[in-house]
Homo-oligomer: A and B are copies of this chain.
């Protein structure tokens, strides 16, 4: 708002401000983001964004990439405070779902269907893979310590992630099915509880 320090001809930070505003615009409701509306919101000519992004899709990809990186750093931070695989998974779950709730539109963009093959955007691809690898690392750690009794980290990671991702998705996309009296944090904990105890039981 007030951070418009005598905006000169050369903006100085246009790329970042475009991304910030794009995120806000996304959140502001309308499904689709328009480059023109974005330029208008930033207070810049409608062709200025092309100095920083070769086309609209590239801006969207940059937005998604930033989202993944932001989520990833939160996940890592939350995980580093935990001491065992179970509490690491629990921290992951809370951080993940709370991120989705805090940034529903960005989250949808990140996990929605991609327009262009993500092959062309190595940074995006890497950020996605890193997120997935984090889940798998937790699972592998649990398996190694014998608290998760299973033999395939990939299947286990998918199973765990599904529960967490599904909760995030249902919460932000179909709120009317998510009843009023439900406490989200308790719901997350229940999911982790069932998952963890199911894995303990699973082997015997």
Contacts and interface: CB of A to CB of B under 8 A. Distances in A.
13 contacts: A108-B113, A113-B173, A125-B176, A132-B177, A155-B190, A158-B178, A159-B163, A159-B167, A163-B191, A164-B166, A165-B166, A194-B198, A197-B197
A170 interface: yes
A31 B60 CA distance: 15
Given A108-B113, A202-B193, A202-B197, A167 B162 contact: yes
Interface stretch (A7-15, A41-49, A71-79, A181-189): A181-189
Contact of A31 (B113, B128, B132, B176): B113
B198 A193 contact: yes
Interface residues of A, number: 49
A7 B97 CA distance: 52
A143 interface: no
A186 B147 CA distance: 22
Given A194-B198, A198-B195, A162 B155 contact: no
B111 A187 contact: no
A22 interface: no
A169 interface: yes
Nearest to A108: B113
A178 B172 CA distance: 22
